[in-house]
Chain A
Amino acid sequence: MRRVAGAASLAFAVGLCGAAPAVDGPRSGAADMSAELQAMQRDDGANPGMLWVADGEALWRRPAGSRQRSCASCHGDATRSMRGVAARYPAYDAASRRPIDLRGRIEACRTRAQGQAPSRPESAEALALEAYVAHQSRGLPLAPPADPRLAPARARGEALFRQRIGQLDLSCAQCHEQHAGGRLGGSRIPQGHPNGYPLYRLEWQSLGSLQRRLRNCMTGVRAEPHDWGAPALIELELYLAQRARGLNVEAPAVRP
């Protein structure tokens, strides 16, 4: 019963009051948040992530790099051209012949098409653009591509998800599958879905990417975190997207 009530409040949180969500499907972390935090996420005037989205909108139109091209020069109006894009990432990049996540895609545009230097991980600029692009998919279900070229990487991602790591000898699955819904200290353990990223975390007092979250968890179990943009992290992101298939994109979400 509690689960049903939670799922209903999630639907409210992402502004989809009509359709009843599947009770046994993946459950967004938003459903386990306090009513106040859900309201904060829902309200664009109170959601601090919207500050980054507003920045991203300005960056989208600003010509940059050696070619003095803006994102809009090629992609036009993001509200149309970027609708649903974030819901399909990570995806296979034919040019580099490997899977890339949304940040990787934006970086590729930045270096190849604009002729800019690569951005630092978690730089305000990179987060703002990613937030702006992801925001265009808000309310759409995650739809990871069925591209067979992604399958091996996705399988490696799942293996990593189930691999015990670190001095605490814990896998992602032990917390986020076996003990999801339970408590760790005072906090509810979420199922660990990637549908709100980049998101504003109160603990960070800032917007942050999924990789920041993953590296946080790795440090939390006293493991050496993978480097920013490492193939292992992309593979994990691929599996997480598959696992959360159908959950609505909430970017920029708010989390405690």
Chain B
Amino acid sequence: MARALITAPRTAKRGEIIEIRTLIAHPMETGHRNDGQGRLLPRDIIRRLRCDYDGERVFEAELFPAIAANPYVVFTTVATASGTLSLRWEGDNGFAQTETVAITVT
């Protein structure tokens, strides 16, 4: 299922600062809550978000239990050349999702 929404410009001028907005579906279970029977719900969060721009790391974030479900992360980078932005989320229980966005730089 389509579980991540990425908003980024398709085209940009060289040297322009571009904004990448990401939203991903994830429960971000803190590990501090109980279920209806009083059992502790195990932690299940996204630990890390990375963005590679043509193989070069331009952004990296660590995520923690206090971050709400379906985390929304916005960051900027400088448009240097036409290529792809590769976003990768990694988390507990082997969670991993990769999305790519193509950008044309003129």
Interface of A toward B, CB cutoff 8 Å = 44-46, 48, 50-51, 54-55, 57-58, 202, 205-206
Q: Cβ of B21 and Cβ of A46 under 8 Å apart?
A: yes
Return chain B residues, CB-CB under 8 Å to A48. Answer: 23, 25, 69-70, 72
Q: Apart from A51-B70, A55-B2, A205-B28, list 14 A-B contacts with CB within 8 A.
A: A44-B5, A45-B5, A45-B21, A48-B23, A50-B5, A51-B3, A51-B4, A51-B5, A51-B23, A54-B3, A55-B1, A202-B68, A205-B27, A205-B69
Query: In this assembly, does B77 line the interface, its C-beta being within 8 Å of a C-beta of chain A?
Result: no
Query: In this assembly, does B7 line the interface, its C-beta being within 8 Å of a C-beta of chain A?
Result: yes
How many chain B residues touch A (CB < 8 A): the figure is 16
Chain B 52-81: CB-based contact to A (< 8 A → 1; otherwise 0): 000000000000000011101000000000
Return chain B residues, CB-CB under 8 Å to A46. Answer: 21, 23, 72
The chain B residue with its CB closest to the CB of A40 is B72
Return chain A residues, CB-CB under 8 Å to B27. Answer: 205
Q: Cβ of B3 and Cβ of A206 under 8 Å apart?
A: no
Return chain A residues, CB-CB under 8 Å to B24. Answer: 51
Chain B nearest CB from A126 CB (Å) reads: 14
The chain B residue with its CB closest to the CB of A55 is B1
Given A45-B21, A48-B23: A54 and B5 interface contact (C-beta under 8 Å): yes
**When chains A and B are docked, how far (Å) is the Cα of A57 from the Cα of B3?**
12
Return chain B residues, CB-CB under 8 Å to A51. Answer: 2-5, 23-25, 70
1-38 of chain B: CB within 8 A of chain A = 1-5, 7, 21, 23-25, 27-28
Return chain A residues, CB-CB under 8 Å to B2. Answer: 51, 54-55, 57-58
**When chains A and B are docked, how far (Å) is the Cα of A206 from the Cα of B70?**
8
Q: Cβ of A45 and Cβ of B68 under 8 Å apart?
A: no
Q: Cβ of B68 and Cβ of A55 under 8 Å apart?
A: no
What are some 15 contacts across the A-B interface (CB < 8 A)?
A45-B7, A45-B21, A45-B23, A48-B23, A48-B69, A48-B72, A50-B5, A54-B1, A54-B2, A55-B1, A57-B2, A58-B1, A205-B68, A205-B69, A206-B69
Return chain B residues, CB-CB under 8 Å to A54. Answer: 1-3, 5
Q: Cβ of B70 and Cβ of A205 under 8 Å apart?
A: yes
In order of increasing CB-CB distance, the 3 nearest A-B pairs are: A45-B7, A205-B69, A54-B2
A45, A46, A58, A202 pick with most chain B CB within 10 angstroms: A45
B3, B7, B23, B72 pick with most chain A CB within 10 angstroms: B23
Q: Cβ of B23 and Cβ of A55 under 8 Å apart?
A: no
Given A45-B5, A57-B2, A58-B2: A50 and B23 interface contact (C-beta under 8 Å): yes
The chain A residue with its CB closest to the CB of B69 is A205
The chain B residue with its CB closest to the CB of A49 is B70
Return chain A residues, CB-CB under 8 Å to B4. Answer: 51
Chain A nearest CB from B106 CB (Å) reads: 23
Return chain B residues, CB-CB under 8 Å to A50. Answer: 5, 23
Chain A nearest CB from B100 CB (Å) reads: 17
**When chains A and B are docked, how far (Å) is the Cα of A55 from the Cα of B25?**
10
The chain A residue with its CB closest to the CB of B2 is A54
**When chains A and B are docked, how far (Å) is the Cα of A45 from the Cα of B8?**
10
The chain B residue with its CB closest to the CB of A205 is B69
Return chain A residues, CB-CB under 8 Å to B3. Answer: 51, 54-55
Chain A nearest CB from B47 CB (Å) reads: 18
**When chains A and B are docked, how far (Å) is the Cα of A252 from the Cα of B3?**
16
A44, A46, A48, A206 pick with most chain B CB within 10 angstroms: A48
